Chains A and B, each alone.
Chain A
């Protein structure tokens, strides 16, 4: 079974804090990491390979240094990697990104399953997976928390919805997006680490993929970011005073005044 895992290199944004004096992001010490949700996608790909045979190819679109993310994926069990990198891709929104990924995956040729993380940590949209599936004309199943099994050309999964879990069956090939409940990603093995250092990672550019220049980058993206600002925290908490018993008493009075209890 041939499995493709799509991943993205993102800034480790949990480290990002706002400097309250200048109202800007403090970036010192922020390194690039594999989008955390994608680490579950890699692990699931590797587990399915171990269960059913085949190979796992990891794919990322990004700047040249995104190669580090691919090498890290190889260190935890991916077999092959492709870096899609071209200056003309910069500024692509989710629709343009899904176009480039679809072109890439079509070039990779044969595949049974494509796995993505549920969303990235920087953009937080979760749109590239379903847009990719639509462009490839294959089914999509979101928020997968368990792969129950693959047989007869079908995959059976559990997926999380607001009210609980649905058991869904889809024919292959399809795209699934996974949540963190699906597995616990492994640490790199010694052999994996060695392989990750020597693996040859091809870099595909726009011309290698037969890309239509009108569909990529800022100009090929239907959405445009026109303003960026920092969220305003408008409330100023009233800190209750006195003994804890006094504070609890004051709180009950306030909540009654507000008619919320």
Chain B
């Protein structure tokens, strides 16, 4: 792929410069010039009123690997229970498979995993199950080896996996082993009607920019998706499908890394990712003790306690409560943000919540841009008032 400026057409107006997210254009001698920062994204091409920017599509040296068919979902489990993201991806994968008129398969590694049949109810046509005590823990070396082997054998055109700590760690190794493309943390997945390619949309630059990415030639097209980005569909107990127990060479079940022990860390009574209601605090709380005010509201609502990054950085609350780009992504029915200004990194982790209430003293706080209801006021007055009001209502 190449970019060229048609010197005859370029009038040096400079309208391409602000359109470039990578600072790759400048005007030299009244003509646009491209530097090394260019990623050929095409943003400048759309901004040019004179059709002076020419981006040539790559000559297809290889043809897409057409023998690859079907959509696959890696269905992650922990302690024998499927994670919520597995159902979310099966639901999304069903849509993609329908658009491509192909089958949807889930792949599950573990031991005595509950509810594998449910993957079929949520939309899978087949479930490839590798069941062995050696797979109970997340043995990443083994997971990489087995998933690569299955993909080479069955040749799916798309593979989706959760962007969990496991997925983000071992799925890139699968992509590297297969020498194919992988797009992290997708928030949008759809099939391009013309080309049949998977359009993978993700936030980048800390959520400031969205990018749509394709993997035109190599297969499978691979994406990770953060939990709670896609909605879980409705299960249908009537759906038919097959659970296929996959045999494998037990000799190959060795992992170089060893899990020695596990320390559970969530101090919360309600698990953040599964909570219907989240009460979250930010820098506006002022000091660690003030999380107590939020905890009281959370207790009345049966809510989980969340945090933006600054309180975690300052050690007021453990990292497991952090919501945002480098923390958890959540999508509760109700999100109450107290004293959170709303940096894009935080918004990236919660803006798909059904109803968002923002309580902040600063009327210009960016959190209000994603809120459903806004109370501009002192959280130290508003939150206790709300707690008392709800407590009265319960009596």
Contacts and interface: CB of A to CB of B under 8 A. Distances in A.
Interface of A: 11, 13-14, 16, 18-19, 22, 24-25, 27, 63, 87, 90-91, 93-95, 98, 118-119, 121-135, 139-143, 156, 159-171, 174, 180-181, 218-219, 221-231, 233, 235, 237-240, 244-245, 247-249, 251-252, 254-255, 258, 260-261
Interface string B142-173: 00100000000000000000001110111011
B389 interface: yes
B172 A123 contact: no
Contact of A169 (B258, B351, B371): B258
A168 to B, nearest CB: 6
Contacts of B368: 237, 239
Interface string B340-369: 000100000001001111100000000011
B381 interface: yes
B43 A27 contact: no
* Chain A contact residues: helix, strand, loop or mixed: mixed
B247 interface: no
B249 interface: no
A162 B385 contact: no
Contact of B40 (A91, A130, A170): A91
B143 to A, nearest CB: 12
Contact of B257 (A94, A118, A169): A169
Given A131-B172, A134-B176, A237-B358, A225 B263 contact: no
A247 B384 CA distance: 13
Contact of B38 (A90, A128, A129): A90
A115 to B, nearest CB: 15
A235 B343 CA distance: 16
B92 to A, nearest CB: 19
Given A24-B18, A139-B256, A238 B372 contact: yes
With a 10 A CB-CB cut-off, give which of A141, A159, A229 has the most chain B CB atoms.
A229
Interface stretch (B98-106, B201-209, B237-245): B201-209
Nearest to A159: B165
10 contacts: A13-B208, A95-B179, A127-B184, A142-B165, A142-B168, A169-B260, A170-B256, A170-B258, A227-B42, A229-B212
Given A228-B41, A230-B208, A261-B390, 5 more contacts: A11-B23, A163-B265, A167-B263, A229-B212, A238-B373
Contacts of A166: 259, 261-263
B21 interface: yes
B212 A225 contact: yes
Nearest to A217: B1
A180 B212 CA distance: 29
B181 interface: yes
B173 A162 contact: no
Contacts of A258: 334, 354-355
B182 A223 contact: yes
A161 B162 CA distance: 13
A129 B172 CA distance: 9
Contact of A168 (B21, B36, B78, B258): B258
Given A130-B169, A226-B213, A25 B21 contact: yes
Nearest to A236: B369
A168 B215 CA distance: 34
Query: What range describes how many residues of B lie at the interface?
Result: 35 or more
Contacts of B299: none
B13 interface: no
A224 B1 contact: yes
B58 A219 contact: yes
Contact of A221 (B23, B78, B181): B181
A170 B262 CA distance: 16
Q: Which 8 A-B pairs have the closest CB atoms?
A: A222-B181, A164-B265, A223-B181, A142-B169, A134-B176, A130-B172, A131-B176, A237-B371
Nearest to A102: B176
A123 B42 contact: no
A66 to B, nearest CB: 11
B39 A125 contact: no
Given A164-B264, A164-B266, A168-B260, A224 B213 contact: yes
A209 B124 CA distance: 45
A257 to B, nearest CB: 10
B325 interface: yes
Contact of B206 (A14, A22, A156): A14
A60 B176 CA distance: 20
Contacts of B218: 222
Interface in B189-243: 199, 203-218
Given A127-B175, A165-B263, A247-B382, A255 B389 contact: no
Contacts of B37: 63, 90
A90 B175 CA distance: 21
A226 B212 contact: yes
Contact of B211 (A18, A222, A228, A249): A228
Contact of B319 (A133, A160, A168, A170): A160
Contacts of A131: 172-173, 175-176
Interface string B10-31: 0000000011010100000000
A251 B164 contact: no
B248 to A, nearest CB: 20
A95 B176 contact: yes
Given A124-B206, A134-B144, A227 B41 contact: yes
B110 to A, nearest CB: 15
B177 interface: yes
Given A235-B372, A237-B358, A237-B372, A16 B208 contact: yes
Contacts of B389: 248-249, 252
